[in-house]
Copies of this chain bind each other. A is one copy, B any other.
Amino acid sequence: MGQASFQPPDPDYEQRVRASFDRQAAMRTIGASLGAIEPGRVVIELPHSPALTQQHGFLHAGMVATALDSACGYAAFTLMPHDAGILTIEYKINLLAPGKGQLFRMEATVVKPGRTITLVEGRAFAIDTGREKLIATMTATEMTVTGREDIKH
């Protein structure tokens, strides 16, 4: 995936990501938490919970997508200016294996940042009795928005 090192225009990018994440009630509801936050890269972790399962008792694909989509958005957000808001324009997810495991790790990496459009790739891994397995991949298009009070942080 991305191997370039990115220069964040806002040195407080980590604090800005944490503050935004903490305002998302949905992340609390599903039990997601932030892991590593670097310029152009964000990790989100999600423990298994019976409340989030599909009909076979595995993590619902929607929950995988929700946490992975958030990781992609925040990876792009690390490279945006201090006063910018972010909109996810679209994403595509390929589901490779069931969400079977005790813990799930979502890794998102910026492929190409841009003034308006940033492309991010994400990968979701299930950790099942210590073994890690790739269960989904995502590409997400994120847009930098400035000057709109309703889309901020």
Residue positions of A touching B, CB distance < 8 A: 1, 20, 23-26, 28-29, 50-56, 60-63, 65-67, 69-70, 87-96, 98, 111-112, 116-117, 119, 121, 134, 137, 139, 141, 143, 150-151, 153
Contacts and interface: CB of A to CB of B under 8 A. Distances in A.
B90 A90 contact: yes
A134 B151 contact: no
B25 A50 contact: yes
A62 B69 contact: yes
A92 B95 contact: no
Given A62-B70, A137-B119, A143-B117, A55 B23 contact: yes
A63 to B, nearest CB: 6
A93 to B, nearest CB: 6
B88 A112 contact: no
The 6 nearest A-B residue pairs measured at CB:
A62-B66, A26-B60, A23-B55, A92-B92, A90-B94, A29-B51
